[in-house]
Amino acid sequence: MIDFDSSPLMDMPSLYVVATPLGNLRDLSARARDTLAAVDVVAAEDTRHSQKLLDAFGIRAQRLMAVHQHNEQQTAGQIIECLARGQHVALMTDAGTPAISDPGARLVARVREAGYAVSPVPGACAAVAAVSVAGIVEGGFRFIGFLPAKSTARRTALLSLAGEREALVFYEAPHRVAECVADMAAFLGGGREILIARELTKLHEEIAVMPLVEAEAWFAADAHHMRGEFVLVVRGADAPDGLDVEAVRVLNLLLDELPLGTAARLAAEITGASRKGLYAHALAQRQ
């Protein structure tokens, strides 16, 4: 065990990936507070938003730097220069864990390539919080994050995921969430169970579980259902009768590019599964 009185920083200059609250400020860990107070530089997705969090805990950052999706590569170079000068840097996002859908993955990769240590300061993560209360992921889960914004690309992505046996975890924006769940019902199957987690840890937190076929109506029933940040957890696919999971996966990939009959024939040749069974499965999925 590490002594609570020891410094939150390592001996060598390092990048600390700091998880921040989704909404409830009390979810910021004591270690995260100590780390943010001790580092030389805080790199934040939105400096104005992060300044409010720092102010709430009386933390005065020596230097606050913006790092977002549009400047991540450029800022990575600046952070590496800070590390080269012997400074410690903390990376934080607006809410949750950096580099999980939010900016940070490319920055972390660049810092590692430069030979510096990257240390996680764990805490809140919207995807894990939703999974923990879903009760539908006993076979594991696959984190997808945000689906494509355009409907054609989104439907193609969902079709490729239709045969996945693991539960699927998505993030979605309020202005797209209703059409997103409608596409999920159409391409993943309306009988599957979905957990809708809205505004996790915030004042108006709401968690609802229902068959996918009912989700679009749930959003339409109350204008408040469309507000906030969303995590969607969808139960994994049941194994098709007589078909191997790998055969279904190959079939779904081929269906993205080829007509149904051609995809079924090639999937059968590749995997040795029944062409008739694959064709029937693909046909039912399309319908």
The last residue of one of the domains, among 124, 157, 185, is 124
Residues 213, 196 within the same domain: yes
Q: Is residue 146 part of a domain?
A: yes
pLDDT score for 122: 97
Residues 97, 68 within the same domain: yes
Q: Which two tokens stand for residue 63?
A: 């230097």
Q: Is residue 6 part of a domain?
A: no
Instruction: Yes or no: say if 131 and 167 are a contact pair by the CB < 8 Å rule.
Output: yes
Residues 216, 270 within the same domain: no
Residues 77, 91 within the same domain: yes
pLDDT score for 253: 86
Q: Is residue 255 part of a domain?
A: yes
Residues 70, 86 within the same domain: yes
Digit-by-digit pLDDT tens for the chain (287 residues) are 555 557 899 999 999 999 999 999 999 999 999 999 999 999 999 999 999 999 999 999 899 999 998 998 899 999 999 999 999 999 999 999 999 988 899 999 999 999 999 999 999 999 999 999 999 887 789 999 999 999 999 999 998 898 888 999 999 999 999 999 999 999 898 999 999 999 999 999 999 999 999 999 999 999 999 999 999 999 998 766 667 777 878 888 888 888 888 988 998 899 888 888 888 888 876 66
| CB contact burial 131-144 (16+ within 10 A = b; e otherwise) | beebebbeeebebb
The helix/strand/coil state of 1 is coil
pLDDT score for 256: 81
pLDDT score for 137: 81
Looking up residue 76, the CATH number of its domain turns out to be 3.40.1010.10
Q: Which two tokens stand for residue 198?
A: 């809205």
164-166-169-175 Cα dihedral, nearest 10 degrees: 40
Residues 73, 151 within the same domain: no
Residues 45, 136 within the same domain: no
Q: Is residue 239 part of a domain?
A: no
Q: Is residue 1 part of a domain?
A: no
Instruction: Yes or no: say if 189 and 237 are a contact pair by the CB < 8 Å rule.
Output: yes
Distance from C-alpha of 32 to C-alpha of 55, rounded to nearest angstrom: 14
Residues 173, 203 within the same domain: yes
Residues 145, 110 within the same domain: no
- Residue 7: closest CA among 40, 41, 31: 31
Three-state SS string over 130-173 comes to HHHCCCCCCCCEEEEEECCCCHHHHHHHHHHHCCCCCEEEEEEC
Q: Is residue 3 part of a domain?
A: no
- Nearest-10 crossing angle of helices 72-84, 105-113: 40
Residues 27, 118 within the same domain: yes
Residues 37, 51 within the same domain: yes
Number of domains in the chain: 3
The last residue of one of the domains, among 61, 93, 124, is 124
Q: Is residue 2 part of a domain?
A: no
Residues 82, 151 within the same domain: no
- Residue 230: closest CA among 171, 168, 143: 171
Query: Which structural domain, as residue segments, surrounds residue 97?
Result: 14-124
Looking up residue 194, the CATH number of its domain turns out to be 3.30.950.10
Q: Is residue 219 part of a domain?
A: yes
List 172's β-bridge partners, or say none: 230
The tally of CA atoms less than 13 A away on the side-chain side of residue 193 is: 12
pLDDT score for 4: 59
Q: Which two tokens stand for residue 123?
A: 């805490």
The last residue of one of the domains, among 234, 255, 271, is 234
The one-character DSSP state at 27 is G
